[in-house]
Homo-oligomer: A and B are copies of this chain.
Amino acid sequence: MLVRSQPDFAEILFAVNGSILPRIWRRLTVILIVAIIAVLAAQQHPGIFQRISAIPFTLIGIALSIFMSFRNDACYSRWWEGRKLWGELLIAARSFARKIADLPHEERRSMTYLLCGFTNGLAARLRRQDERATIARWVQDPIAEDDPNPTNYILHQLGRRSLALMDSGRIDAIRYSVLETELRALSVVQGGCERIATTPVPYAYSLLLHRTALVFCLTLPFALAGSLGWWALLPVLLVAYTFFGLDALGHQLEDPFRTEPNSLPVEALTRRAERDMLSLIEGEELPPEITPRNHVLM
């Protein structure tokens, strides 16, 4: 996640870091070249180009904006839902810690470690990193080699621990159900995050919009070259920048758990959850907070 203050006048015009420009400059260059060709051709054969009117392009451009706005909305919603789910994770982790506050110190510590294992495991799973190794830093218990879902296995362990506490009479059935509420909340978080990470916006949809946007930007110069001459470069580039930029940004927000500049700061959120939970266990040393590096919070 990019952490920057509101940009000032100069930054708005010239900032590159944090901008989507590095992702789309190649396409913009292609469009620029096509536009230059169009203007040169229009100067050679003005007759052909004079016939092309800008009005149908207005129609297509507006239609495209409307549909692109819809895809953008869908991608942003996924990004924001991802953030909400990690917020839920923090809430459930804090609440679980609160609900076991009267258990013996050792019990609380090992359950908190399981929670930390779950949180880190989920982060690794979503970022396609080594889930098993990440969990092993917190939980000694070995996980079966062929377990398809180690993070869920940790949650299962937490469930077993709660059941064991009840079966041994140390907590009653109501307390067990109160703890299970938080485990279910964590299950909801995992399920929701997996859903977002494994189900992209329908491919045909993205392709249709990519394609229409590209064809539109490739042909727009020919529509404007006749009447605007070299002035045509400006609106062509501005339109291409906006359409390609929103498109590329939508792609970044679509799966918000990756390590792109605009992805969610999964690592920092994991650490925050750890710190919140460990600070409630006496004698635990807190790992340092994660801070943005080069304006990017991972």
A residues whose Cβ falls under 8 Å from a Cβ of B:
1-4, 6-7, 9, 12-13, 15, 18-20, 27, 30, 51-67, 69-70, 72-74, 76, 79-80, 83-84, 87-88, 90-91, 94-95, 97-99, 101-102, 144, 146-149, 152-153, 155-156, 159-160, 163-164, 167, 172-178, 180-181, 183-184, 187-188, 190-192, 194-195, 199, 202-208, 210-212, 214-216, 219, 224, 227-229, 231-232, 234-235, 238-239, 241-243, 245-246, 249, 251-253, 261-262, 264, 272, 275-276, 279-280, 286, 289
Contact = CB atoms under 8 A, between A and B. Distances in A.
B245 A208 contact: yes
Contacts of A83: 195, 199
A256 to B, nearest CB: 9
Contacts of A174: 173-174, 176-177
Copies of this polypeptide in the complex: 5
Interface SS of A by simple majority: helix
A56 B54 contact: yes
B15 A207 contact: yes
Nearest to A91: B191
B156 A60 contact: no
Nearest to A278: B148
9 contacts: A1-B203, A2-B203, A13-B214, A59-B62, A60-B242, A63-B64, A65-B67, A102-B167, A149-B276
Contact of A61 (B2, B27, B63, B231): B63
B238 A88 contact: no
Contacts of A98: 155-156, 159-160, 183, 187
Contacts of A194: 87, 90
The 4 residue pairs across chains A and B that have the minimum distance between CB atoms: A173-B174, A98-B159, A2-B203, A56-B235
A51 B228 contact: yes
Nearest to A19: B207
Contact of A97 (B18, B59, B156): B156
Contact of A76 (B74, B215, B229): B74
A204 B57 contact: no
B149 A279 contact: yes
Given A66-B69, A195-B84, A207 B55 contact: no
A80 to B, nearest CB: 8
